[in-house]
Amino acid sequence: MFLGDRADENDNFNLPLYSLPIEVTMTTLANTPDLSNLWMPFTANRQFKEHPRMLAKAKGMYYTTVDGQQILDATAGLWCVNAGHGREEIVEAISRQTAEMDYAPSFQIGHQDSFRAASAVAKMMPAGMDRIFFTNSGSESVDTSLKMALAYHRARGEGQRTRLIGRERGYHGVGFGGISVGGISPNRRTFSGALLPAVDHLPHTHDLSKNAYSRGQPAWGEHFADELERIVALHDPSTIAAVIVEPLAGSTGVLLPPKGYLEKLRAITEKYGILLIFDEVITAFGRLGAATASELLGVTPDLMTLAKGISNAAVPAGAVAVKREIHDTILAAAATGIEFFHGYTYSAHPLATAAMLATLGIYERENLFQRAADMAPAFEVAAHKLQGAPHVIDVRNMGLVAGIELTPRPDAPGARAAEVFKKCFDKGIMVRYTGDIIAISPPLIIEESQIQEIFHTIGEVLKTVA
Ligand SMILES: Cc1ncc(COP(=O)(O)O)c(C=O)c1O
C-alpha cells in the first residue's frame, strides 16, 4: 500500500494516482485512509508514509497485511501478545463485558472483576508481592511504582529519601519519571531540562569483549552492581528511595543480567533500606519461561511493574505488584480517607479486567510459561546458528528472547538493522530492531518449525545486506 486517498501539500506521497495499475487503484483506494493526520509514535513518520507497512488482521502466530500477505510474528507484537493473536476466550470475554458494563469508575467505587483480576495477577507474583495497583501501560506502571517508593519512605518518616537510581540503557517507558530513570539518550535529550532532578544511573552491563555469544546469563559482569555502593556513598543512603532496573533489558537491545548481578543489587539495596523495583513489563508472564524473571532468577524485588502480556495486549493494561508491607505502611500512615493520591480514569477498566482474567486463565490452562521454557533450548540453538553470518558480532538469548547484534555501518548507525527489518518483513517475518540489534521475542505458542523459519530467514537476509 503506497497511497492515501487524498493528496494535499502535507502529504509525502510522490506517486500520482494515474501511475498506479488500474487493479490496485480499484481494489484499494476506496478503503485507504488519509495518512497525514496521524502522528505515529516512535516512527520515522516521513519514511513510513512513503512506504507504509499496514497490518489488517492477526491470528495465532501470524499477521495479515492489507495486501493479504501472511507475516510470522517473531516479536509478539511489541513483546506483548504472549498467548498468540486472536484468542477466542479473550475476544469473548471482552465482547461480553462491553455489552454488560462498558465502563465503571475505580475511584471510591468498585466492580467485582477488578478484585478478581488483582487476585489472579497476585497468584503469579513472587510470595508476598500480592498487592496490585492497576494502570493502563508500562509507562504508567513505572511512574506509579516510583511514586509508591516515595510515598512509602514518607509514610515511614523518611521523606528525605527522594533520589532514584536507574541504569544506562534502561528503558522504563516515556513518562517523565520513566525517561528520568531510563538511560536511552535519544529518549531523554530533547527533554533534558525537565527531567526529575535527583536521579543517578548505574552503568549498563553489556560488554561484547567479555560476554559475546552468551547463552543465558553471562558469567562476567556481576561487579557492575558494586557501582551502587559508590552512588550510595556519594549521596548518603538516607537520601535514596529506590533502584529500578529491568531484570533483562529488552527495548534497548536485549541485555542479559550477568550471574550474581541482580542478587548483589538486592543485597546492597536491602543493606541500606533502599527499595528495589524490577521493571518486568516485558519479562513477566512467561517471556523467560517462568511467570516472572524474579521467580526464574530467585531474586525478589519490593515492587514490580507489569503490562503487555498481562492482558495479551488485547486491551491496554498494566499493574504494579507491591510487597504487602509497603502497601500496609502507606495505608497505615494516612489518617483517614484516601491513602495514595494517584490513579487513572481507566485503572481496572472493565474491558481490561475481562481481558486479564481470560489471558491469565489461558496461561494457566495451557501451561504456557512452561511451554516457553521447553521451547527455549531449540530457540537458543537456532539463534546461535547465526554466529558467523555476515555482520553478526553477537547472538545472545534467554527464554524466548534473542538479540542479534550487527556491526553498524560507519556512517549510518542503525541503518543496517533497519534494512534487515524491512527485508525480513518483505519475506514474511516481523522482527524488531534497536540501533543495530535485532530482537526476537515470539508468542509463547510458537512451534519449532517457526523458530527455524525465523532465524533461517534472518540468515538469508543478512547475506543480501551490505
Ligand atoms: C521494560 C519496559 N518498561 C516500560 C515500558 C513502557 O511500556 P508502555 O509502552 O506500555 O508504556 C516498556 C515498553 O516496551 C518496557 O519494555
Q: How far apart are CA 38 and CA 168, in angstroms?
A: 32
The contacts found for 177-180 with CB under 8 angstroms, 24 or more apart, are: 177/142, 177/143, 177/146, 177/147, 178/139, 178/142, 178/143
CA 7 to centroid of ligand 1, rounded, Å: 35
Please list, in sequence order, all residues whose beta carbon lies within 8 angstroms of the beta carbon of residue 356, skipping any fewer than 6 positions away.
Answer: 117, 120, 121, 310, 311, 317
**What single DSSP character describes residue 357?**
H
Ligand 1 center to residue 306 CA distance, Å? Answer: 9
What order of strands is seen across the sheet that includes strand 131-135? 131-135, 318-322, 303-306, 275-279, 240-245, 163-167, 199-202
User: Residue 180 in 3-state DSSP?
Assistant: helix
Strand order in the sheet with 55-59: 55-59, 62-65, 70-73, 429-430
Tell which atom from ligand 1 comes closest to the C-alpha of 282: 16
- Cβ of 171 less than 6 Å from ligand 1: yes
**The total number of residues written for the chain in this structure:** 466
- Tell me if 225 sits within 8 A of 247, measured CB to CB: no
- Quote the pTM value: 0.93
287 lines ligand 1 (CB under 6 A): no
Q: First and final CA of the chain: distance in angstroms?
A: 26
Domain boundaries, the chain: 53-83+368-464, 88-365
Q: Kindly give the number of the ligand 1 atom that is closest to the alpha carbon of 139.
A: 11
> How many other C-beta atoms lie within 10 A of the C-beta of residue 33?
14
Q: How many CB atoms lie within 10 A of CB 41?
A: 7
| Residues whose CB falls within 8 Å of the CB of residue 43, separated by 6 or more in sequence, listed in order | none
For residue 174, the CA-to-ligand 1 centroid distance in Å is 8
Ligand 1 pocket residue status of 250, Cβ below 6 Å: yes
- Cα distance between residue 20 and residue 5, in whole Å: 13
C-alpha pair distances (Å), 438 with each of 185, 288, 413, 421, 465: 19, 18, 13, 8, 14
Which class would CATH give 88-365?
alpha beta
Angle (deg, nearest 10), helices 350-365 and 368-384: 70
Q: How far apart are CA 175 and CA 195, in angstroms?
A: 10
Q: Which atom of ligand 1 lies at the shortest distance from residue 78's CA?
A: 14
Pairing mode of beta strands 303-306, 275-279: parallel
39 CA from centroid of ligand 1 (Å)? 19
8 A C-beta contact, residue 302 and residue 277: yes
Buried/exposed 258-272: b ≥16 CB within 10 Å, e otherwise: beebbebbbebbeee
What would the grid cell of residue 2 be? 503506497
Task: Kindly give the distance from the C-alpha atom of residue 190 to the centroid of ligand 1, in angstroms, as a whole number.
Answer: 19
- Please work out whether the CB of residue 445 comes within 6 Å of at least one atom of ligand 1: no
Copy the grid coordinates of residue 276.
528495589
Distance from the alpha carbon of residue 276 to the mean position of ligand 1, in angstroms: 18
How many A from CA of 244 to the centre of ligand 1? Answer: 13
**Per-residue model confidence as pLDDT tens for the chain (466 residues):** 322 332 332 332 233 333 344 444 444 555 789 999 999 999 999 999 999 999 999 999 999 999 999 999 999 999 999 999 999 999 999 999 999 999 999 999 999 999 999 999 999 999 999 999 999 999 999 999 999 999 999 999 999 999 999 999 999 999 999 999 999 999 999 999 999 999 999 999 999 999 999 999 999 999 999 999 999 999 999 999 999 999 999 999 999 999 999 999 999 999 999 999 999 999 999 999 999 999 999 999 999 999 999 999 999 999 999 999 999 999 999 988 999 999 999 999 999 999 999 999 999 999 999 999 999 999 999 999 999 999 999 999 999 999 999 999 999 999 999 999 999 999 999 999 999 999 999 999 999 999 999 999 999 999 999 9
Q: Please state, as a whole number, how many other Cβ atoms lie within 10 Å of the Cβ of residue 53.
A: 17
Q: Establish whether residue 170 lines the binding site of ligand 1, counting it when its CB lies within 6 angstroms of any ligand atom.
A: no
CA distance 436 to 439: 10
The correct answer on CATH 3.90.1150.10 for the domain covering 53-83+368-464 is yes
Pocket test for ligand 1, best of 134, 181, 282, 434 (most atoms within 8 A of CB): 282
Cβ proximity of 249 and 171 under 8 Å: yes
Q: 144 CB under 6 A from ligand 1?
A: no
